[in-house]
Amino acid sequence: MPNFESILSTIAQEVSNETDKGRVASYIPELSCVDPNKFGISILDKDGTTYAMGDSKEKFSIQSISKVLALSMAYSLLDERIWERVGVEPSGDPFNHLSLLEMENGVPRNPLINAGAIVVSDILISHLKHPKTDFLEYVRGIAGDNSIDYDESVAVSERKTGFRNYAAANLIKSFDNLKNDVETVLDFYFHCCSLSMSCEQLVKVFYIFMNRGNCLQNNNYLDLSKVKRINAIMLTCGFYDEAGEFAFEVGLPGKSGVGGGIVALLPNEFCVVTWSPGLNEKGNSKLGMMALEKLTTMTGLSIF
């Protein structure tokens, strides 16, 4: 294994010199309050050793990163039947785009764009007794950390300005690909996005995708085939219309969120989380992407 400690310190130093840190998301009012100068990075290797730098213990809104976790839970419940409701192709479109949804009869391109995650939310609501509590317990269980929670103020803030998500949900509903009512589905979806976690917590949750479906406590959450497929979807769809660029620059499956977090992993080796709230024009963390490009270049480790 490379010397992660010294590599992380070099990366943190280099990104701190960047003057253009991107722009903090403001379409969800609550997110616009976050300090753009925050930067955290955390690595968890396969042996369970953590390496961290900067604001790695500070909680942030994981936003779309939660889509992978909702997918993981729904996939476990439905097995391959899930693909009758949502596709597995990259969209090449921004995360909140609607045009393909209309053209493709309300079946979203993949589970990691907003429309896809809204369908996954609907599936979870249909299958869970207490959807919000059960999903939270699922995430807490994987991390072995009961302090993980939703941020109600972020969920409320997003509901107030979630016009495009309402539009997507209504369109999907018109094609009969939502079984529950729009308000219930979006309430669940907004809560998933509002999950608040630090880099050090999030890296433990994503450990299962790096470690063949097993968490740090060695409980199994996913079989090998599902892990392979979720990682494939992260690689091809995890960064919206910048998935190609992320694979090109970084070379790892991963997922971003508009809260400025990015998770990425090298199967059977390590999992990494960065947090820098400023986004680029595609809605992905600017310095997070830069840091991860440096990480895979300096260590020579990527899936390619």
User: What number of residues does the chain have?
Assistant: 304
Give catalytic status of residue 221 as yes or no: no
d(Cα 115, Cα 94) in Å, to the nearest integer?
Answer: 11
Q: List CB contacts of 285: < 8 A, sequence separation 6 or more.
A: 22, 256, 260, 261, 262, 274, 275, 276, 277, 278, 279
Give catalytic status of residue 67 as yes or no: yes
- Per CB under 6 A, the list member of 60, 95, 239, 246 interacting with ligand GLN is 95
Q: Token digits for 273? A: 């989380």
- Per CB under 6 A, the list member of 165, 201, 280, 285 interacting with ligand GLN is 165
Q: In the complex with ligand GLN, which residue's Cβ is closer, 6 or 26? A: 26
Residues 107-146 that bind ligand GLN (CB under 6 A): 114
d(Cα 210, Cα 234) in Å, to the nearest integer?
Answer: 12
Q: Within 13 Å of residue 196, how many CA atoms lie on the same side as its CB?
A: 15
Listed in sequence order, the DSSP H helices in 104-162 are: 114-127, 131-143, 152-161
d(Cα 262, Cα 273) in Å, to the nearest integer?
Answer: 6
Backbone region of residue 66 per phi and psi (left: phi > 0; alpha: psi in -120 to 50; beta: other values): alpha
The reply on whether position 276 binds ligand GLN by CB under 6 A is: no
Q: In the complex with ligand GLN, which residue's Cβ is closer, 169 or 247? A: 169
The reply on whether position 274 binds ligand GLN by CB under 6 A is: no
Q: In the complex with ligand GLN, which residue's Cβ is closer, 45 or 158? A: 158
Q: List CB contacts of 47: < 8 A, sequence separation 6 or more.
A: none
The reply on whether position 150 binds ligand GLN by CB under 6 A is: no
Query: Which candidate in 15, 34, 258, 273 is catalytic?
Result: 258
Q: In the complex with ligand GLN, which residue's Cβ is closer, 131 or 283? A: 283
The reply on whether position 64 binds ligand GLN by CB under 6 A is: yes
The reply on whether position 258 binds ligand GLN by CB under 6 A is: yes
Asked whether 302 and 269 are in contact (CB, 8 A), the reply is: no
Give catalytic status of residue 258 as yes or no: yes
- Per CB under 6 A, the list member of 70, 143, 193, 195 interacting with ligand GLN is 193
Question: Which residue numbers are catalytic?
Answer: 64, 67, 189, 240, 258
Name the residues that contact ligand GLN, by CB under 6 A.
63-64, 95-96, 114, 158, 165, 193, 257-258, 283
